[in-house]
Amino acid sequence: MRKTGWKYMLVFIFGMITFAVGYFMLNVFVGFRRPTPLGNVEDFETICFWYDDQGSIQASISPKGCYSTTCTRQVSKTGSAVLDQDSFKISLNASFVLAETSRFPLPCIENCAGGGMVNLNLGELQVGQYEVWFKDEIVGEFNIYSGLPTPRQCIENPRG
């Protein structure tokens, strides 16, 4: 009877080890979403405007998509801004080159900040409502208030 007890105990221990290894494999390789395919990203997810401490307007542009900070490497990022204060128009452009990095066998962290941001200094702007263009398409509006502090304003990509 004692030998039979050890056999059951041994089967139970090996079963628990098999369960633990299977659970680990499922979580590492199946349960977590990998970053979207990488390469050259020419579209934006969010454009934000705010005042800095010196009174200049700053703009930040994030790349379209969700890129994990632990599984994405920023190869390069560039951006430009053209201001037309007579017609209250801000034209922005940004390009990101991203590469996927491997953390095998660890999963990627579930966040979307791995693509980075392009930060642009727009300087001092006159009071008014500006049209915001990205490449050749109008994407939203940005307001600079008179006599009131201008809050941080963000524009989400209208194409989703």
Together in a domain, 87 and 146: yes
Q: Is 131 exposed, middle or buried (0-12, 13-18, 19+ CB in 10 A)?
A: middle
Distances in Å between the alpha carbon of 73 and those of 38, 45, 55, 84?
Answer: 10, 18, 33, 34
pLDDT digits (tens, 9 = 90+) for 24-50: 776 666 554 444 456 789 999 999 999
pTM of the model: 0.72
By residue range, what is the domain housing residue 133? 40-156
Together in a domain, 45 and 101: yes
Of 7-11, 31-35, 126-130, where does the model show the most confidence? Answer: 126-130
pLDDT digits (tens, 9 = 90+) for 40-96: 899 999 999 999 888 899 999 999 998 888 888 898 999 999 999 899 999 999 999
- Cα gap 42→18, rounded to integer Å: 46
Together in a domain, 64 and 102: yes
Q: What percent of the chain has pLDDT over 90?
A: 46
More confident residue, 38 or 7: 7
Together in a domain, 17 and 62: no
Which residues is 47 bridged to in the sheet? 61, 155
